[in-house]
Amino acid sequence: MAETGTDIQKAKLLLQQNELVAIPTETVYGLAANALDPIAVAKIFEAKQRPTFDPLIVHTFGLSEIEAFTTGIHPVLRKLAETFWPGPLTLLLPKKSNVPDLTTSGLDRVGVRVPDHELTLALLRELQFPLAAPSANPFGYISPTAAEHVNKQLGDKIRYILDGGPCRVGLESTIVGEENGEIIVYRLGGLSIDAIERVAGKVSVQLNQSSNPNAPGQLKSHYAPVKPVVIGNMNALIEEHKGKKIAVLSFGNFSGNDNVFMEKNLSAHGDLREAAANLFSYLRLLDESEADVIITNFVPAHDLGLAINDRLKRAAAKN
């Protein structure tokens, strides 16, 4: 198990020595290392068993810092950064040559964001370099929204976990970039499309649904529990799986059922923000239970519901 605490100086020292440190953010916990050092970055890929075609997001503490490793920012993206940073927004920006190819998987753009968490912001201000940090989970598994999730799965591969408590948003950042003047959303996440469009005007959404080397973490099966996940009319699915130990991931006023072995309600009063914050930790609880199958249904498809449904789909997809 890794040591866990709130010691920023300790985290700083380890990162300066090219070691891995898990960091809290408002979205999910990240597995951090010096983004500008290929050896440090290689340790991230190794610990996560992440394919090197999947690039990393670089974290810094302010918009003024990005000049050190990017060559420019489209005015609309700048407006988004000014409005939503610190926050759950990643921008794909043209990279400078000091960003190692390993960090961006050889792509010309680097994903950048300013996370909204005081501990991590304080750490970033102390460092002379930005931090590359993917979600701190083994590749393909559910993202961690608490320090103990990180410790359970990667504890033996990390020197220190900076514990910032449970993640407030609970879904990864929304990834946005610009191509030929068009603003494009590549991954749905903790910042809703509506919020982005209020600032950027109409955007296009280009989510990759299949395995694609250029795809931003958009593999068809991702965020996936070990147990089978099925999505649809819950009462019908419960009937269909009768005789099995059924776990239910519900939303709103779902009235239990005698055949249900275990139920977690994402938000009993139907609040999408609360559901987002609970999603990964509840999926984890159900996955760790003795249930045979996890039954769930889509949440209302607006605001954060779109990103929640995206994660549910990927959790249910088979490799």
Interface contacts to Mg ion, rule CB under 5 A:
135
- Residue from 10, 78, 96, 109 binding ligand TXA (CB under 6 A): 109
Half-sphere exposure of 172 (CA within 13 A, CB side): 26
Comparison of 188 and 249: residue with beta carbon closer to ligand TXA: 188
Residue 27 binds ligand TXA, judged by CB under 6 A: yes
Neighbours of 210 (CB within 10 A): 10
Shortest Cβ 135–Mg ion spacing (Å): 3
Residue 30 binds ligand TXA, judged by CB under 6 A: yes
Distance from C-alpha of 272 to C-alpha of 221, rounded to nearest angstrom: 23
Distance from C-alpha of 203 to C-alpha of 197, rounded to nearest angstrom: 6
Comparison of 116 and 287: residue with beta carbon closer to ligand TXA: 116
Q: Which two tokens stand for residue 118?
A: 């005081």
Residue 145 binds ligand TXA, judged by CB under 6 A: no
Stretch 192-251 residues interacting with ligand TXA (CB under 6 A):
216-217
Neighbours of 41 (CB within 10 A): 24
Stretch 259-318 residues interacting with ligand TXA (CB under 6 A):
none
Residue 25 binds ligand TXA, judged by CB under 6 A: yes
> Could you tell me how many residues make up the chain?
319
Q: Is 62 helix (H, G, I), strand (E, B) or coil?
A: coil
- Residue 188 and residue 310 in contact, taking contact as beta carbons nearer than 8 Å: yes
- Binding map of ligand TXA across residues 70-89, x = CB under 6 A, - = no contact: ------------------x-
Comparison of 135 and 250: residue with beta carbon closer to ligand TXA: 135
- Residue from 2, 20, 55, 272 binding ligand TXA (CB under 6 A): 55
Shortest Cβ 110–ligand TXA spacing (Å): 5
**By beta-carbon distance, which residue lies closest to ligand TXA?**
217
CB within 8 Å of 232: residues ≥ 6 apart: 297
Sort strands 21-23 and 109-113 into parallel, antiparallel or unpaired: unpaired
- Residue 261 and residue 247 in contact, taking contact as beta carbons nearer than 8 Å: yes
Binding residues for ligand TXA, rule: CB under 6 A, are 25, 27-28, 30, 54-57, 88, 90, 92, 104, 107, 109-111, 113, 115, 133-135, 172-173, 175, 216-217
